Structure 1
């Protein structure tokens, strides 16, 4: 099976430019070569920056939606009724007058003016609605007895169910203001009180084109029960132009004592009139609905009139038409609240799904890694025993290098002093270095090392030069900052004895893990890379044979046209091409390679930015693999799209939700979920470290990884996706080498493997 013709490339694309090569120990080449002048391409445009502004705007919108939804559900700024306590302060004359007056209060003047219903007049009032389940049932009972009532509505519920507010008005009932979020007005500052009342008016204007002049503070009751703080809030509402409605008969239906007791509490004694308080929302209101019918069934035949509050006390209609601006602002508010509610609900499901997928992936990959390790311990491949070479085949090792003087000697020494019994040809391809890479690579005196100099053309070009000059069919590619263990080449070659295997991924280790950044990368390499590759082999969806250590068949590479320069992740691009061509790609855990990882967050950003952007390029280039026969395209691209693109893009929202829930809600669920994920990651990490023969003590940095490293990684994905969508060609980001395994002059021990093996405990044989 071969890839589609449109993906083929001619190999080689052009004659290799002039280079100089020499055998180590046969003379030193000149520092500079008379290479032909080439026209430098124009510098690429700078990385996009505008998307950070868009990201900030997006997070602000998400935060606004969460805050709005939290406010409407009484999570943000949540209030509760003040505990009952003796009101020790002597009442003011105005409060004393209010306590002795009727239930309807006008507090605009220095002393309140009150009014109450006339005899045989009952004003049924319903608080806390409208509710999509109970308000329609209450309205049906009222219509049955041709009764009218007043509904003191919560603004947030009006915004959520505007059709119920319109039905209330259309059937001749009255609306009153019961605040926007059911806040206890006696416990909030003045600006919050004004906001609560104003927002409710906006919601009513958007839903019904009306305003109301009636208001009832939540948690209020009869005039005699007014406390000093409640009186201050009642007076503040009065200064806003509201007539405050308390109650004569509080049925306390919220306690659900039974429909008969609620009805008994709602019937005025001795044919008097009364304002009756009930609730059409806030829980199961089945008893309230039954009680309303019992009350009307008893009072209507006795000549009682069931009317609105305004009608009961002889006031003009409480409904006032809203102006155009008020209706527009109200409509926007109601739409924004419903959108925020829908967004918060959808986000909760998305986050649940993301958490379940992440947890499922960890557990599933751990099981697959166990299966891979168990199979390798048995020395078997997928079908029968693993094939073996009759004799050690010759191998060519290609080391592309650009300004690698800090570690090139350690790399070459580890390759030249390998324990592999077969012939090993080592090609160091200097891709136009401006330092002493060529001189140092050839100064070790190993006869099987050949240094090739070529003009700078990028890593793919350097690899292709090495492939064209390779003398053997089996090729191993090694980065110039990587050191092999003595047995590594043998382990890689062993897997290529299977004629179906086209490439082998080795086990990359972080050598410079002394600092926090290095330790984080060590954990990531073991858990996120090497553990995953065990699973990828079993699923036939290996995405990447890392540039630090990989073995290939030269014939397979030539059939593909060599290493493509289409992407910045040439290793991922090459691996996907091999899989699409029908070759199997496997993972060899014992083939250890120690690499120098970025030593700072800035260096790490540049490396991962290139990796992620190159992976996106490779995914797009090989997108047709999804439609091809075989599982590779669907599994590999589906996995990458889900876990390396989509979920990291959602990560900022996850963090925002966590902060939101911790600061404004109950932090215990957030802490419990976070701790649970850390425990699962720690257990998975412990198993991964155990498989790799690493000490589990490295796991102490795992919780800290959630607060810096994780954010850096998802910002890298956001930057990469934005760069790709904007069509910007990313520049190659060169990393600064520190010479972890020994700098120029042989700073490392003669056997470099002992130095880095000592960093991590005993190395695996």
Structure 2
């Protein structure tokens, strides 16, 4: 048990770093710059879908960034999902000023999955670029995503590269490094190994034919992005990762907001695992087994760490057998090894990420706090998410809950 708790993060870090570096040297290093995407022989129309719920504070800049795409033929569809603030009025005013913008008003909060489905059904294009209502889409992101979607008939989706906008606090600066050295690295490695655990819900391009085959997004899953990723790949659609498709997002900068976000992510992963594990047992879906095993090991690691902490706490008041006695939970030699592995992973991510942000390295000074702030929250959220997902009432609609978008 103790060996698993120590070796699991080291082994996974090795896979992520090796896969991420392979992806970089094979596909990114000599790729064209972000501002000069590959030419399209025939630039088909693209539809940018923006589901909105109480986005009045940032909807103007989100729509402005979407309308500023360096792409010849596109439309923007904003779906107001029963907002209770001034989102509807602002969207309507914007629609009167911009011909490319259409607005769909839903009378009540039905959830992001339902809003995306309504937008997909109203879209005029086969290619759908889906972003969140507080995200700023880079000018060239649509071109990069459509290029992938048109490159092969089996490409069902392409996920982009979210970047953190709010960096004024310690948590914000740590997340800059997390999205680069953890999330970005994992997506690169998983793309090399063949299957992605999830697309980024904040920026993903879809082929509408693929969505139609699998029944669009599920409105009873806490995280619709994880579920749609698994169902697309189980239907043998390919999901790609395009780091040049940038999207700038707001993230929580309070511990409460961060906990709620990570608990929702963890619960979404558990729900997807519980729903689809049985379907993955067939040989035809064997390429998803690596993704499933990786997630199962991460859940097992979280519970193992909680058990070790519990044994240490019990050992303070009760004499335990030597095999179960934990002297301390403070880092010793194994903590130094883990810290060195983390530093190597952060260094590798700097090599990769400087292509997209020249000064990204200065945020890694704060990454020393990452294990304290995020490993503990991630571990605890996974432990809480499993029983929460098991006790959840089935077929309960997942509706919007306004997230913490940082210190404004």
Bin the TM-score by the shorter chain: 0.7 to 0.9
Task: Check if 1:735 corresponds to 2:387.
Answer: no
Aligned to 2:195: 541
Q: By how many angstroms is 1:493 displaced?
A: 1.5
Per-residue CA shift, 1:463-516, capped at 9, x if unaligned?
010010000111110000111111111111121122221100101111112212
Structure 2: how far apart are the matches of 1:459 and 1:669?
42
Per-residue CA shift, 1:315-337, capped at 9, x if unaligned?
xxxxxxxxxxxxxxxxxxxxxxx
Aligned to 1:354: 5
Structure 1: how far apart are the matches of 2:138 and 2:369?
31
Aligned to 2:332: 671
Aligned to 1:561: 215
Rg larger for: 1
Aligned to 2:102: 450
Q: SS at the partner of 2:40?
A: coil
Residue of structure 2 aligned with 1:725, choices 368, 380, 390? 390
Structure 2: how far apart are the matches of 1:656 and 1:702?
27
User: More helix by proportion, 1 or 2?
Assistant: 2
CA, structure 1 residues 684+739, in 2 after alignment: closer, same or farther (shift >3 Å)?
A: closer
Per-residue CA shift, 1:268-323, capped at 9, x if unaligned?
xxxxxxxxxxxxxxxxxxxxxxxxxxxxxxxxxxxxxxxxxxxxxxxxxxxxxxxx
Q: Is the Cα–Cα contact under 8 Å of residues 431 and 458 in structure 1 kept in the other structure?
A: yes
Per-residue CA shift, 1:52-91, capped at 9, x if unaligned?
xxxxxxxxxxxxxxxxxxxxxxxxxxxxxxxxxxxxxxxx
Residue of structure 2 aligned with 1:493, choices 146, 156, 159? 146
User: How do residues 153-232 of structure 1 correspond to structure 2 at under 5 angstroms?
Assistant: none
Structure 1: how far apart are the matches of 2:76 and 2:30?
29
Aligned to 2:261: 607
Q: SS at the partner of 2:284?
A: coil
Q: SS at the partner of 1:509?
A: strand
RMSD: 2.7
Task: Check if 1:393 corresponds to 2:59.
Answer: no
Q: SS at the partner of 1:361?
A: helix
Aligned to 1:248: none
Task: Check if 1:681 corresponds to 2:342.
Answer: yes
Structure 2: how far apart are the matches of 1:608 and 1:433?
24
Highest relative contact order (Cα 8 Å, sep 6+), 1 or 2? 2
Unaligned runs of 5+ in 1: 1-349, 381-385, 743-765
Aligned to 2:363: 698
CA, structure 1 residues 387+597, in 2 after alignment: closer, same or farther (shift >3 Å)?
A: closer
- TM-score, normalised relative to structure 2: 0.87
Q: By how many angstroms is 1:558 displaced?
A: 1.1
Unaligned runs of 5+ in 2: 32-36, 317-324
Residue of structure 1 aligned with 2:23, choices 367, 372, 388? 372
CA, structure 1 residues 409+641, in 2 after alignment: closer, same or farther (shift >3 Å)?
A: same
Q: Is the Cα–Cα contact under 8 Å of residues 369 and 534 in structure 1 kept in the other structure?
A: yes
Task: Check if 1:436 corresponds to 2:86.
Answer: yes
Task: Check if 1:426 corresponds to 2:76.
Answer: yes
Task: Check if 1:708 corresponds to 2:373.
Answer: yes
Structure 2: how far apart are the matches of 1:523 and 1:660?
36
CA, structure 1 residues 354+738, in 2 after alignment: closer, same or farther (shift >3 Å)?
A: closer
Aligned to 1:503: 157
- TM-score, normalised relative to structure 1: 0.47
Q: Is the Cα–Cα contact under 8 Å of residues 372 and 535 in structure 1 kept in the other structure?
A: yes
Q: SS at the partner of 1:674?
A: helix
User: How do residues 49-448 of structure 1 correspond to structure 2 at under 5 angstroms?
Assistant: 350-377=1-28, 389-420=40-71, 422-444=72-94, 445-448=97-100
CA, structure 1 residues 668+480, in 2 after alignment: closer, same or farther (shift >3 Å)?
A: closer
Aligned to 1:223: none
The number of residue pairs the alignment matches comes to 384
Q: Is the Cα–Cα contact under 8 Å of residues 252 and 258 in structure 2 kept in the other structure?
A: yes
Structure 2: how far apart are the matches of 1:557 and 1:568?
18
Q: Is the Cα–Cα contact under 8 Å of residues 460 and 564 in structure 1 kept in the other structure?
A: yes
Q: SS at the partner of 1:452?
A: strand
Residue of structure 1 aligned with 2:286, choices 631, 634, 641? 631
Q: Is the Cα–Cα contact under 8 Å of residues 144 and 242 in structure 2 kept in the other structure?
A: yes
Q: Is the Cα–Cα contact under 8 Å of residues 400 and 459 in structure 1 kept in the other structure?
A: yes
Aligned to 1:470: 123
Structure 1: how far apart are the matches of 2:27 and 2:150?
15
Q: By how many angstroms is 1:440 displaced?
A: 1.8
Aligned to 1:10: none
Structure 2: how far apart are the matches of 1:733 and 1:710?
27
Q: By how many angstroms is 1:378 displaced?
A: 6.5
Q: SS at the partner of 1:707?
A: helix
Q: Is the Cα–Cα contact under 8 Å of residues 396 and 424 in structure 1 kept in the other structure?
A: yes
CA, structure 1 residues 480+626, in 2 after alignment: closer, same or farther (shift >3 Å)?
A: same
Aligned to 1:260: none
